[in-house]
Homo-oligomer: A and B are copies of this chain.
């Protein structure tokens, strides 16, 4: 993935919630599966939470004050060291910083002598920020009363993902303080490059001993503030993969047209790399721009199952098509599909999207040049069983077969689709917690957004992975990012409620 500027799953995750906002806002409470819950009411844990509240908040604030930003090569060592210390403090017995070719990661294990083991994924890096755009200093993590929401902590990383992660750690502290042994063992893997596409995360996960430890887990938990403002939760069973790349047409590579920009009057005698890009592009999709037309693109596409369609059909029964379209700023789905079919298409179809076009003069007005270079920035959404690694060769072969072999296909990043079975332990544990907490939730088969769950759900690990945690926050990648500490809406969990949700998750899984 190299120097990718691609947003990591933090961004995609933030959008994911928005993508599904409508579906959870009014979702019916699903029937709870038969997963065992903690046999007690956790009174001692709740007491510990209350006692430790201030410490837990302070822990998060201190963490926010140390921003690690891979894109700026900022505070990698300090970030990994802090991550390791946080793990030690929470009770992990084996904790080590794992060097990579990029920012270091952390591997830690907590042996509770339990029969089952849970994998946990953390990111300690955050997105870049510009303090000028913030209403409160982004590293001060101030506690602020936000009308309609409650007491929040505002700062970079508050919701993406230090807030939920610190909440998970608070759960471990509370258990310890209550004198309880964890009901499951833990394996923690943390990285510092999530925001640049998890470039070197594979080096961590695939180290033999780490891989072996992860293989013993029941699945992977990614702490996440999963509630929406009404308290609803969408339990996702998968997400599309993504490949992000640039198509570059240039006189230099082509050997025709100008090597640099030329005065446009020459067009009558000189070929245009821009027109060449336009011609190459239009071969990639159907004339309506809605279906990839790249040779072999659908070879590995797995259609939705009846169950997946059923889950989508269930979800739309309690969603407002009108509200979702308004929020998206659209008036029609593709081909004027009805809502249900559009949502099936959203989950099922791979895409070739142009996220940016850049050629020649891009400022106001015009400038009479024949550009020597033209670039299309593409993002391709991949569905099971497509792989990100296949995308570039397929595009290259398709273009070469049509005489566009000189058009460069430069991949900046990507990852495979991810799927977790409905009966995976991490999914069943989530449902149990939600049911017990009387939280409205829906199962959703596949997010159209992307996150690199394939690292866990794909080869060689093949374990389930799920983002979970009560609580709410917003502003990932944006100014004024925040995470709720005390919610004014009783249906939304604050820090202590979210912490308790992790305790219950551990018991459910056990």
Contact = CB atoms under 8 A, between A and B. Distances in A.
Interface of A: 3-7, 11-12, 15-16, 18-19, 240, 242, 244, 246, 251, 255-260, 262-272, 274-276, 278-279, 281-282, 285, 287-290, 328-334, 337, 342-343, 345-372, 374, 377, 379, 381, 412-413, 447-450
B267 A381 contact: yes
B265 A328 contact: no
B6 A365 contact: yes
B334 A269 contact: yes
12 contacts: A12-B368, A18-B263, A264-B351, A265-B450, A266-B346, A268-B334, A272-B289, A275-B289, A278-B289, A353-B370, A357-B360, A361-B377
A355 B266 CA distance: 12
Contacts of A244: 366, 368
B368 A360 contact: no
A194 to B, nearest CB: 15
A267 B354 CA distance: 9
A355 B351 contact: no
Contacts of A4: 365-366
B272 A353 contact: yes
B268 A349 contact: yes
Given A268-B346, A270-B330, A271-B334, 19 more contacts: A19-B266, A260-B329, A266-B328, A266-B346, A268-B347, A268-B381, A269-B448, A270-B333, A271-B290, A271-B332, A274-B357, A329-B372, A354-B360, A354-B371, A355-B360, A356-B361, A357-B359, A365-B412, A366-B377
B7 A368 contact: yes
Given A269-B333, A279-B289, A15 B356 contact: no
Contact of A5 (B6, B271, B337, B366): B366
Contacts of A367: 5, 7, 355-356, 377
Contacts of A260: 329
A3 B365 contact: yes
A271 B251 CA distance: 31
A369 B331 CA distance: 18
List the 8 closest pairs (A to B, CB-CB), nearest first.
Answer: A5-B365, A275-B289, A265-B448, A357-B359, A356-B360, A356-B361, A269-B346, A267-B351
A354 B262 contact: no
Given A279-B287, A366-B412, A354 B265 contact: no
Given A256-B331, A272-B354, A359-B357, A15 B365 contact: no
Contact of A355 (B271, B332, B371): B371
Contacts of A329: 251, 258-260, 262, 372
A266 B367 CA distance: 34
B257 A330 contact: yes
B328 A258 contact: yes
B356 A366 contact: yes
A18 B262 CA distance: 11
A152 B388 CA distance: 60
A132 B281 CA distance: 41
Contacts of A278: 278, 281-282, 289, 354
Contacts of A333: 269-270
A7 B361 CA distance: 13
Q: Which of A12, A15, A329, A413 has the most CB of B within 10 A?
A: A329
A348 B251 contact: no
Contacts of A361: 355-356, 377
A277 to B, nearest CB: 8
A364 B337 CA distance: 35
A289 B271 contact: yes
A128 B216 CA distance: 69
Contact of A255 (B12, B18, B332, B358): B332
Q: Which of A270, A271, A369 has the most CB of B within 10 A?
A: A270
Q: Which of A285, A361, A449 has the most CB of B within 10 A?
A: A361
Contact of A275 (B255, B354, B372): B354
A270 B355 contact: no
A257 B331 CA distance: 8
